[in-house]
Structure 1
């Protein structure tokens, strides 16, 4: 019988420890209806109205989730990404640019 030693990484995935080399079981987390996986932010999910109130780390995480959603939409939808996702991407880019020049 093989035992699996895994460590939580804090973002709902599990990594194996190098000493065992065994693959962990797949996490059983599935998004609810109308929700996208935690690494993406779908067009119907909440988005802050004022980005200036977010700290840089929160802004970067939001940008990452929107970028992953854009990538997913380009790869899976022949019509391309949702208009709201594109608009959110532009808003985030503008806020990040503003902080870079400040």
Structure 2
């Protein structure tokens, strides 16, 4: 009797794959671009509005939520910390939300 073990196929985009022993470590302050970001987060390679003032408050809050989730994810998973683009976007969103609160 032959037993065939079924296993999940692992593709190149699977985060569970590990680098080869002896592979170069990431340079501090840099982080590889994400291959695919879930809909609840907004990765650094994805589009971001140039002008936040034109967004409705609801759209601004959704965007803030997605950036915050991406920052949380990066803090937990990336040894070098969040991507600098994501941090800049978070600062821009916080400034726009503060400006609207003050108005």
Kindly provide the CA deviation profile for residues 5-24 of structure 1, in whole angstroms up to 9, marking residues without a partner as x.
Answer: xxxxxxxxxxxxxxxxxxxx
- Deviation beyond 6 Å, 4+ runs, structure 1: none
Structure-2 residue corresponding to 1:57? 58
The gaps in structure 2 that reach 5 residues or longer are 1-33
Contact conserved, 1:35 with 1:45, CA < 8 A, in 2? no
Structure-2 residue corresponding to 1:16? none
> d(CA) in 1 for partners of 2:37 and 2:79?
19
> d(CA) in 2 for partners of 1:84 and 1:51?
16
> d(CA) in 1 for partners of 2:76 and 2:98?
27
Q: Give the number of equivalent residue pairs.
A: 70
Larger RCO of the pair (alpha carbons < 8 Å, separation 6+): 2
| TM-score calculated relative to the size of structure 2 | 0.66
- After TM superposition, the structure 1 = structure 2 runs for residues 1-102 of structure 1, keeping only pairs within 5 Å, are 34-102=35-103
Contact conserved, 1:59 with 1:92, CA < 8 A, in 2? yes
The structure in which a higher percent of residues are strand is 1
| TM-score calculated relative to the size of structure 1 | 0.67
